Structure 1
Amino acid sequence: MMKSIYIVDDDDSVRSSLYELVRSFSNTIVRSFKSGDDFLESLPELDPGLVLLDLNMPGTNGMEVFAQTKDHPDLTFVILTGQGDIQKAVKAIKAGAVDFIEKPFRPDELLRIVQTGLSDLEDSRKEHQKVDNAKALIDRLSPRERDVMNGLLDGCSNRSIAEAHKISPRTVEIHRANMMEKLEAQHVSDVLRIAYSAGAIAA
């Protein structure tokens, strides 16, 4: 699977050197932006990827760009910072960036951080896929099948579920069987896992 790396830095020489370094990663597409504004304008069309984001840029600076995009589920951020911006970088880390690197950076250190960021991006992609799959399974259920599922997750017996919804225990058994089949679940523990992944129950 192709991966994308986005370089956002107003310094031409930094963008060029970063481009040459990170293009060595296999199955990777590298794209650079000379300003935060350019990056934000292109955001709707961007594929999931790792963003190397400079903090100090004219116009919309790095922290503002990060604040506007940090909740984007398909982007992972590495902050590029100067000596006077360490506290800002730490703030970005606390807000969700995976790492930061101080300029001037060593090529080996940058490549290590980028590799870690790409791995985190892949983990995030898999987690989002897991959530999407679980939600799709839950969406298959009828309202009554969801009632039965919620009852099971609350530890209720078939009889208790039947009494709560004023239906017969036999009807609960039928809904339960249909629910298990639609969720592709063999055991109640499978239902619990799927419901948790889909956000249907709290942690």
Structure 2
Amino acid sequence: MNEEPTVFIVDDDNEVRESIALLMDSVGLPSASFDSAWAYLNCFDPMRPGCLVLDVRMRQMSGLELQERLAEEPIHPPIIIITGHGDVPMAVRAVKNGAVDFIEKPFNDQTLLDAVQRAIDIDAERRGHAAELANIQERLERLTKREREVLEQIIDGKRNKVIAADLGISQSTVEAHRAKVMEKLQARSLSELMRLMLATDTDTARSRDSA
């Protein structure tokens, strides 16, 4: 069963933490509160879905520093920045680093709730995409070395006759390997096979761009 998303609240102001926690509770959203960035990091679990409501100015590690630290993780909750000391450069830095929203205190309750819902939706979409990619990768790992070679040729748009010549095997052997590739990758058509491979290529490109 899927775990219910949690709103993680990180703010060194006790009243702000309690206020936000009560607001989340009023709409049935579970929350967990932390009085510092380090307190949150010590309990950080990338597998827990939800979003992070994060104050900017805190002792030891600021909210923006925590945001940058989490950006190094393969997956983490989407972040909403809240601050009583906002300025344009700070907002630009937060958004460039992937913040869903930048909200100045005092904020309207509905504004924060709307941002939280957007962040939870984004988190669900990201986790669904990550699960799909993991599933595709698991299927790819079932392929033999020869089946991978045939797959690469298929992706390049080559016909069975050309693949056979390139790999030095018979056309019937290519057809047999091709059938195994389709079966193991659970692709019912060439277009579906291409979609699966495009998904992995796009994810690889994103990883390079973010490195």
Normalised by the length of structure 1, the TM-score is: 0.92
Q: Which residue of 137, 143, 165 maps to 1:163?
A: 165
Cα distance, 1:85–1:123 mapped onto 2, change above 3 Å: same
Contact 1:196 1:202 in 2 (8 A): no
Specify every segment of 5 or more residues in structure 2 that has no aligned partner in the other structure, as ranges.
206-211
Contact 2:10 2:37 in 1 (8 A): yes
Q: Does 1:43 align with 2:44?
A: yes
Aligned to 1:94: 96
> Once the 2 structures are TM-superposed, how far is the Cα of residue 160 of structure 1 from its aligned partner?
1.4
Query: What is the alpha-carbon distance in structure 1 between the residues aligned to residue 23 and residue 37 of structure 2?
Result: 21
Contact 1:132 1:198 in 2 (8 A): no
Contact 1:76 1:97 in 2 (8 A): yes
**What do the CA deviations read for 1:69-127 (whole angstroms, capped 9, x no partner)?**
02431311111122434421221111211111111111111111111111111111111
Aligned to 2:71: 70
Q: Does 1:172 align with 2:201?
A: no
Contact 1:78 1:98 in 2 (8 A): yes
Q: Secondary structure at the match of 1:101?
A: strand
Aligned to 1:4: 6
Aligned to 1:54: 55
> Once the 2 structures are TM-superposed, how far is the Cα of residue 138 of structure 1 from its aligned partner?
1.4
Q: Does 1:115 align with 2:117?
A: yes
Contact 1:3 1:49 in 2 (8 A): yes
> Once the 2 structures are TM-superposed, how far is the Cα of residue 173 of structure 1 from its aligned partner?
0.5
Q: Secondary structure at the match of 1:198?
A: helix
Query: What is the alpha-carbon distance in structure 2 between the residues aligned to residue 173 and residue 200 of structure 1?
Result: 28
> Once the 2 structures are TM-superposed, how far is the Cα of residue 13 of structure 1 from its aligned partner?
0.7
Aligned length: 202
Contact 1:6 1:49 in 2 (8 A): yes
Q: Secondary structure at the match of 1:51?
A: strand
Specify every segment of 5 or more residues in structure 1 that has no aligned partner in the other structure, as ranges.
none
**What do the CA deviations read for 1:148-186 (whole angstroms, capped 9, x no partner)?**
111111011111111221111111100000111111111
Contact 2:7 2:32 in 1 (8 A): yes
> Once the 2 structures are TM-superposed, how far is the Cα of residue 23 of structure 1 from its aligned partner?
2.0
Give the CA RMSD over aligned residues: 1.9
> Once the 2 structures are TM-superposed, how far is the Cα of residue 19 of structure 1 from its aligned partner?
0.5
Correspondences of 1:118-137 after superposition (within 5 Å): 118-137=120-139
